[in-house]
Amino acid sequence: MASPPHQIRRRKIIDDEDRGEVRQRTVAEMGEFAVIDRATRGRVQTADSILGPGDDAAVVAAPDGRVVVTTDMLVQGRHFRLDWSSPVDIGRKAIAQNGADIAAMGARCTGFLVALGCPADTSLSVTDGVTEGLWREATRAGAGIVGGDLVQSDSLVISITALGDLGGRSPILRSGAKPGNVVAVAGRLGWSAGGLAVLLAGSAHHRSLVEFHRAPQPDYLQGISAAVNGATSLTDVSDGLIADLGHIAQASSVAIDLHSESIRLDEEIVDAAHDLGSSALDWALNGGEDHSFVGTFAADASLPDGWIRIGWVREGAGVTVDGRKFSGGNGWSSFST
């Protein structure tokens, strides 16, 4: 017996969804609540999420009795480009740069919130992709997305809030560096700047750098490792190594001198810099958005695994390389062109 027409139609809609054709629809066609439902349904929260999305606010565990919290906004055309990065990459990067800030306090990520603004004609494939990237990187950071907001805006805007727990430790501030401390770094340097240079040059090579630029992969646990191992100051490399160490130098009222020979220049960035006529050392020292970690430790401290000594803290002010001011870019600034 033939199915009645409404059953056929129902099956047709399900088939379309299965083929992903629903993702061709726009946010306005689906409506705010349906898009939020797609972003949250079936996602697995962590034990820190006491109350997830759906009420006036979320409730997140703060076993330490203090909560570490930071927020960053990413704007289309300014912090990402949809022709350079996939929606998944954009979501991942948004979480990574906020999660790295939590780790840079020596804390463990416990939850993320996402406020997303997008035009009404944004394809569901974009919001689905961003959502997938947000969840993928949040999971890497060990936390869930516990809440958010979805609004209409002229271009894509993503504002992330990250929460973290100190586990009874003191937060590691930028202001704790002392003369005589060693400066050490954990993670890649210059990869994001290299990837950006490859994209700007329109080169089809050096894809590992491009991938890293699109979605850096902070090793969040290095922040806790540094804290446990007595780091006296700590930050993540977001504006550029020299610029970020400049923040530490200023907050700590000290000078920092880096040894250029200690800065690990990976083969990938050396090759790309050679091809593009650029300087891998400049990328490593002035490139931002690597979201590696840099901090200071007592001279007699044993550095945690994965940390490499790259310089010393001195009396004075400012950051030098081999005793001299390093000429090159000056790191990232929000309102430069």
Alpha carbon distance 187, 147 (integer Å): 30
Pairing outcome for strands 255-258 and 318-321:
parallel
Per CB under 8 A, the segment of 75-83, 178-186, 261-269, 273-281 that binds its own copies is: 75-83
Sign, CA dihedral 117-331-254-216, equals positive
Residue 75 binds its own copies (CB under 8 A):
yes
Task: Select the residue interacting with its own copies from 40, 45, 70, 222 (CB under 8 A).
Answer: 70
Residue 117 binds its own copies (CB under 8 A):
yes
Tell me how far, at minimum, the Cβ of 158 lies from its own copies, in Å.
9
How does DSSP assign 109-171, residue by residue?
Answer: EEEEEEEEEE-TT-BHHHHHHHHHHHHHHHHHTT-EEEEEEEEE-SS-EEEEEEEEE-TTSPP
Tell me how far, at minimum, the Cβ of 315 lies from its own copies, in Å.
23
Binding mask 84-113 for its own copies (x = CB under 8 A): -----------------xx-xx-x---x-x
Half-sphere exposure of 158 (CA within 13 A, CB side): 30
Q: Show contacts with its own copies in window 268-327 (CB under 8 A).
A: none
Closer to its own copies by Cβ: residue 158 or 210: 158
Per CB under 8 A, the segment of 8-16, 56-64, 202-210, 311-319 that binds its own copies is: 56-64
Cα distances from 217 to residues 29, 142, 255, in angstroms, run 34, 13, 29
Closer to its own copies by Cβ: residue 24 or 152: 152
What is the Cα gyration radius of the chain? Answer: 22
Q: Show contacts with its own copies in window 142-201 (CB under 8 A).
A: 146-155, 157, 159, 161-164, 166, 171, 173-175
Q: Show contacts with its own copies in window 230-249 (CB under 8 A).
A: 234-236
Q: What residues are paired with 49 via a beta bridge? A: 60
